[in-house]
Structure 1
Amino acid sequence: MAMAAGRDDDQPMMDLNTTPLIDVMLVLLIMFIITIPIQTHAVKVDLPQSNGAPQSPVEPEKNKVYIDANGNIFWNSVQIDDVTLRQYLDASLQRDPEPELHFQPDPQARYEVVDHVLAIIKRANVTKLGFVGNEQYRNDF
């Protein structure tokens, strides 16, 4: 008696019949597959429209002030003077959120020029200021 469920034929069968459970699971799986929304392959993107106005030199994320060895001041790779620097700083403070300002003086730049530029930045009330390029000095100390 290979197919007998109990020890003797007159004992009740103790195994759980899982066939109805499997049938219910298959029906639920089919219902789930049917109710999944159809995937669309088109992605709608609203592109910005150009209004023809010149772009602002103030970047929305971060701006870089660089001082070369001759004492020239650069704003995002464009040479500027003190007045233009202050105007750009004021324009960057008007943005929400305020963009980061990365300050990188050349190692050969005169301290007076670096101090003067830092004073302009401080008077402009810039709160997000970071010094870039300090790793070049790590072997000096």
Structure 2
Amino acid sequence: MGMNVGMEQSGEDIPMSDINTTPLVDVMLVLLIIFLITVPVVLETVPVQLPEVQYEPTESKPENVNLSVRGAADGSCEVYWGVTPVTSEELLDRAVAQLEAAIEAAGGVDNITDENMPEAHIRGDVNTPYKCIGGAIFTMQRAGFARVGFISEPPAGTAVRRL
């Protein structure tokens, strides 16, 4: 291993007191490359291709169920079928009846398609606890509704357009 020395005015060699930063830079670059390689491996995600739509308006059909959910001041949940308040049991009974009527109108289970299957649209207040929204979703799925979605309103002043 060699040593760098400088020349003094008198002509004698003296050791240099500067720190050699090259090995430090080499180590840092190797660590950077290791982190760049390992970080994507650590993040476990399922590769999916997301749609390039910012906002897609919901097409409302007469057979769709419109629910409004909000939390009451006492911590309980208020669910409205249209504008009529319902309990969990009433919600389940109405949802089953609505689905049975849609199946009968379509001519039986064999004739049900995505186009004639009713959907449940839930409008949730921004301050509604998750248990209220989750309970409404669970009840509608338990009744047999395969498509349960949320109705939202885009922020004011945002452009709504298809990409």
What TM-score do you get using the length of structure 1 for normalisation?
0.49
Structure possessing the higher relative contact order (Cα contacts under 8 Å, 6 or more residues apart): 2
Scaled by the length of structure 2, the TM-score of the pair is 0.43
